[in-house]
Chains A and B, each alone.
Chain A
Amino acid sequence: MIRPKDRPVDERGGMDFLGPEFLTWLWWRTSTSPEFVDATGDAFFVHVDEFLELRGERGAARKTSLRAGMPGASAEGKVALRNGKVVTAARVLFARGEEETAMTIRAEDLDLSGLRPPKPEGEQAEERLAASLAGVRRAYADLDACLGAFLAVRCSDRWEAEAEQVRAFGAAPSEEERSLAT
């Protein structure tokens, strides 16, 4: 490929939408079936928690940020999805038994912020640090497991049906709307 020397290669491969679509799908998937399986066959659960950011194609001008509580169950989140916005950042919780890892995933580059590995055990500081570093590694492995599950559908002929379910999820009243109605 010929390109100007000082211009970097597009590391998103011209597919800026892939990350936001993944997080949008993850939001839907966790609200209907939160169980995932990692590379070793162990099950873990994913929960969208505390923070959700949705954007339209125009970026910041059409941004919806939802903080605290359960933004995934809010009416605002669903309204944003119905109107064509996609999830660009979400705080998620990976739970495996008693062990919980929280992190904010930024969709565009899969950057993680505020990643809190499970509280490490051990008497020595070195032991605890080693356990935390292993926890970080496991968090990335779990993220890859979720991304792998998304790609398995995204690159198959099942995608249209799945996208339709995401649309139906957006169109259906949120838990908040349902509770208000009753």
Chain B
Amino acid sequence: MSFSLRSLSARRYRIEGDLPSVESVDFARRLTDRRFEPLSPHEERTFGWVTVDNCLDARFEAGSTVRGPCTVFALRVDKRRINSRLLRAMMDLEFRGRKKDAERDQEGQGASGAPAKRPPGRVSRDERAEIRKALTAELLRNTNPTMEVHPVLVYPRDRVVLFGALSKPANELFRAAFSDTFDVTLSALTPFHRALELLEGRGGNEALAAVRRTDFSRAPSAFDGALPASVAARTTRSEEALR
């Protein structure tokens, strides 16, 4: 099983700081230190680095991630999510069972003549929290985790990283994990950030300072003459309302 790149969806980041050589032992050691570890029975989420060839393999050696012009590995995220509806249903069944038990006990006590302490089936807040905790743990144990694996392409010569996912939570997690692993900062290469870099020779910020939004529309002059006045007035009003 090996990684092949047929199609890629990615966000581009600039590496700010000193990244260890991708062929070095240090690079592999850092990945190993933050490698993916499977979820423990009570955990809801775990993440870490795996090899790009196999999401079950988290062993890294010096130079093992290098592929052509870049180094490639992957971020694996496992999540176990409790179905809140199922949890509520289980809690409801638990309370019903307790209520029945309490009623049975009370009947027994009534026969023996002892006074009732509180209405049958009433559960205190602490008991409720305890039941919830126990049921949550049980559900977590029995729920299979979902898995996400996102490729990470590092082009060391360009000081660029491509992260193979576009969702906000995945990108936030990736940035934090990458920064934590390699002690560097990642800046998203948005049009603004890339423009600053491309315009560096012209002062970057200074070159962009005077740039204001451009309006490309030409609607009024093109249609004013063609539309009856009443319709044109209504069109203008609705456009203003939308703005």
User: Do the two chains bind?
Assistant: yes
- What chain A residues lie within 8 Å of B242 (beta carbons)? 56, 58, 61-62
Given A113-B9, A171-B222, do A58 and B243 touch, yes or no (CB 8 Å)?
A: yes
- What chain A residues lie within 8 Å of B213 (beta carbons)? 17, 21
Q: Are B69 and A133 in contact (CB under 8 A)?
A: yes
Q: How far is the CB of B162 from chain A (nearest CB, A)?
A: 7
Check: B166 CB closer than 8 A to any chain A CB.
Answer: yes
- Chain B's interface size range is 35 or more
Report the separation of the CA atoms of residues A166 and B211 in the bound assembly, to the nearest whole angstrom: 17
- What chain A residues lie within 8 Å of B217 (beta carbons)? 81-84, 167, 170
Of residues B189, B191, B195, which shows the largest number of chain A Cβ atoms within 10 Å of its Cβ? B191
Main secondary structure of the interface of B (DSSP, over half): mixed
Partner of A110, one of B67, B191, B202: B191
Q: Are A155 and B4 in contact (CB under 8 A)?
A: no
Q: Are B191 and A170 in contact (CB under 8 A)?
A: no
Q: Are A111 and B191 in contact (CB under 8 A)?
A: no
A side interface size, CB within 8 A: 58
Q: Are A147 and B69 in contact (CB under 8 A)?
A: no
Partner of B211, one of A15, A106, A128: A15
Check: B122 CB closer than 8 A to any chain A CB.
Answer: no
Q: Are B155 and A112 in contact (CB under 8 A)?
A: no
Interface string of B221-243 (1 = CB under 8 A from A): 01000000000000000010011
Q: Are A111 and B216 in contact (CB under 8 A)?
A: no
Q: Are A82 and B222 in contact (CB under 8 A)?
A: yes
- What chain B residues lie within 8 Å of A128 (beta carbons)? 4
Q: How far is the CB of A129 from chain B (nearest CB, A)?
A: 5
Partner of B216, one of A62, A86, A133: A86
Given A114-B7, A132-B5, do A11 and B68 touch, yes or no (CB 8 Å)?
A: no
Q: Are A147 and B191 in contact (CB under 8 A)?
A: yes
Q: Are A133 and B70 in contact (CB under 8 A)?
A: yes
In A40-90, which residues have CB < 8 Å from any B CB? 56-58, 61-62, 81-84, 86
Check: A125 CB closer than 8 A to any chain B CB.
Answer: yes
Q: How far is the CB of A14 from chain B (nearest CB, A)?
A: 8
Check: A107 CB closer than 8 A to any chain B CB.
Answer: yes
Give 15 pairs: A residue, B residue, CB < 8 Å, sorted on A: A11-B188, A11-B192, A18-B192, A21-B213, A22-B191, A82-B219, A106-B166, A112-B9, A112-B10, A114-B7, A115-B8, A129-B68, A133-B153, A144-B198, A151-B199
- A residues lining the B interface (CB < 8 Å): 11-15, 17-19, 21-22, 24, 56-58, 61-62, 81-84, 86, 106-117, 125-126, 128-134, 136-137, 140, 144, 147-148, 151, 154-155, 159, 163, 166-168, 170-171
The 6 closest A-B pairs by CB, nearest first: A130-B68, A84-B217, A13-B192, A113-B9, A19-B191, A132-B5
